[in-house]
Structure 1
Amino acid sequence: MSSTASFTVRDAVFDFLRQVGIDKIFGNPGSTELPLLRDFPSDFRYVLGLHEAVVIGMADGYAQATGKASFVNLHSAAGVGNAMGNLFTAFKNRTPMIVTAGQQARSILPFDPYLGSRDAAELPKPYVKWSIEPARAEDVPLALVRAYHVAMQEPRGPVFVSIPVDDWDRSTTPLQPLQVLTQVRPAPDSIEPLAAALAQCRRPAFVVGAAIDQANAWDEIVALAERHRARVFVAPMSARCSFPENHALFAGFLPPMRERIVQALGGHDLVFVVGAPAFTYHVEGSGPHLPPDATLCQLVDDISVAASAPAGISVLGNIKLGLADLLARTDDLQRPTPAPRAPVPHAEPSPLMTAAFVLQTLSEVRDASHIVVEESPSSRRTMQHYLPFTQPHTFFTMASGGLGYGMPAAVGVALADPARKVIGLIGDGSSMYSIQSLWSASQLGLPVTFIILNNRRYEALCDFALHFGFGKDEAVQGTQLPDIDFVALAGSMGCPATRVEDAATLADTLRRALAENRPNLVEIVVA
Structure 2
Amino acid sequence: MTQATADSATSQALSVATGSERTRTPATVRTAVLHLLRSFGMTSIFGNPGSTELPMFRDFPPDFRYVLGLQEAVVVGMADGYAQATGRPAIVNLHSAAGVGNAMGNIFTAFTNRTPLIITAGQQARSILPFDPFLASAQPTELPKPYVKWSIEPARAEDVPLAIARAYYIAMQPPCGPVLVSIPADDWDRPTEWVEPRVVSTALRPEPGVLAQIGDALDGSRSPTLVVGAGVDRDGAWNEVLQLAERHQARVWVAPMSARCGFPEDHPMFAGFLPAMREKIVGLLSGHDVILAVGAPTFTYHVEGTGPHVPAGASLFQLVDDPQVAAWAPLGTSAVCSIRLGVIDLLARAAPPQRTAPPPRPERTRAEPPLAGERMSVAFALQTLHEVRDPGHIVVEEAPGARSVMQQHLPITRSDTFFTMASGGLGWGLPATVGVALGKPGSRVIGLIGDGSAMYSPQALWSAAQLKLPITFVILKNRRYAALQDFAPVFGYADGEVPQGTDLPDLDFVALARSQGLDAVHVEHAEALRDTLTRALRSNGPILVEIEVA
* CA distance, structure 2, for counterparts of residue 418 and residue 275 of structure 1: 27
Q: Which residue of 2 aligns with 1:117?
A: 137
Q: How big is the shift at 1:201?
A: 1.2
Q: Which residue of 2 aligns with 1:174?
A: 194
**Among residues 461, 472, 475, which one is paired with 1:438 in the alignment?**
461
Q: Which residue of 2 aligns with 1:404?
A: 427
Q: Which residue of 2 aligns with 1:465?
A: 488
Structure 2: runs of 5+ lacking an equivalent:
1-20
Deviation track 1:81-119 (CA, whole Å, cap 9, x = no partner) reads 000000000000000110110000111111111001011
Q: How big is the shift at 1:189?
A: 2.3
2:201 matches 1:188? no
Q: How big is the shift at 1:3?
A: 7.7
* CA distance, structure 1, for counterparts of residue 534 and residue 25 of structure 2: 59
Q: Which residue of 1 aligns with 2:13?
A: none
- Give the SS at the match of 1:515: coil
Given that 1:5 and 1:171 are in contact with CA atoms closer than 8 Å, whether structure 2 keeps it comes out as no
Tell me which amino acid in the other structure corresponds to 1:337.
A
- Give the SS at the match of 1:293: coil
Q: How big is the shift at 1:362?
A: 0.4
2:422 matches 1:420? no
Q: Which residue of 1 aligns with 2:380?
A: 357
Deviation track 1:416-444 (CA, whole Å, cap 9, x = no partner) reads 12200000000000000011110000000
Structure 1: runs of 5+ lacking an equivalent:
none
Q: Which residue of 2 aligns with 1:479?
A: 502
- Give the SS at the match of 1:143: helix
Q: How big is the shift at 1:473?
A: 1.4
When the two structures are superposed, what TM-score results if normalisation uses the length of structure 1?
0.99
Q: How big is the shift at 1:475?
A: 2.2
Deviation track 1:247-276 (CA, whole Å, cap 9, x = no partner) reads 000000000000000000000000100000
Q: Which residue of 1 aligns with 2:547?
A: 524
**Among residues 335, 354, 357, which one is paired with 2:355 in the alignment?**
335
**Among residues 64, 70, 77, which one is paired with 1:50 in the alignment?**
70
State percent identity of aligned pairs: 65
* CA distance, structure 1, for counterparts of residue 257 and residue 423 of structure 2: 9
Q: Which residue of 2 aligns with 1:456?
A: 479
Q: Which residue of 2 aligns with 1:298?
A: 318
* CA distance, structure 2, for counterparts of residue 220 and residue 5 of structure 1: 48
* CA distance, structure 1, for counterparts of residue 64 and residue 208 of structure 2: 43
**Among residues 236, 242, 261, which one is paired with 1:241 in the alignment?**
261
Q: How big is the shift at 1:326?
A: 0.3
Deviation track 1:252-307 (CA, whole Å, cap 9, x = no partner) reads 00000000000000000001000000000000011000000000000000000111
Tell me which amino acid in the other structure corresponds to 1:79.
G
2:389 matches 1:366? yes
- Give the SS at the match of 2:348: helix
Deviation track 1:363-387 (CA, whole Å, cap 9, x = no partner) reads 0000000000000000000000000
Given that 1:453 and 1:526 are in contact with CA atoms closer than 8 Å, whether structure 2 keeps it comes out as yes
Given that 1:227 and 1:333 are in contact with CA atoms closer than 8 Å, whether structure 2 keeps it comes out as no
- Give the SS at the match of 2:191: coil
* CA distance, structure 2, for counterparts of residue 3 and residue 138 of structure 1: 19
Deviation track 1:295-340 (CA, whole Å, cap 9, x = no partner) reads 0000000000111111110001101011000001141421111112
* CA distance, structure 2, for counterparts of residue 399 and residue 178 of structure 1: 31
Q: How is 1:158-173 mapped onto 2 (pairs within 5 angstroms)?
A: 158-173=178-193
- Give the SS at the match of 1:121: coil
Deviation track 1:470-490 (CA, whole Å, cap 9, x = no partner) reads 111112100111111100000
* CA distance, structure 1, for counterparts of residue 49 and residue 173 of structure 2: 28
- Please say which of residues 329-338 and 369-378 is displaced more in the overlay: 329-338
2:101 matches 1:81? yes
* CA distance, structure 2, for counterparts of residue 36 and residue 347 of structure 1: 54
Q: Describe the shift of the 1:92–1:318 C-alpha distance in structure 2 as closer, same or farther (beyond 3 A).
A: same
Runs of 4+ in structure 1 off by over 6 angstroms are none
Q: How big is the shift at 1:4?
A: 5.6
Tell me which amino acid in the other structure corresponds to 2:511.
A
Q: How big is the shift at 1:2?
A: 10
* CA distance, structure 1, for counterparts of residue 188 and residue 50 of structure 2: 15
* CA distance, structure 2, for counterparts of residue 20 and residue 368 of structure 1: 32
* CA distance, structure 1, for counterparts of residue 156 and residue 49 of structure 2: 23
Deviation track 1:134-180 (CA, whole Å, cap 9, x = no partner) reads 00000000000000011011111101100000001100111133111
Given that 2:433 and 2:445 are in contact with CA atoms closer than 8 Å, whether structure 1 keeps it comes out as yes
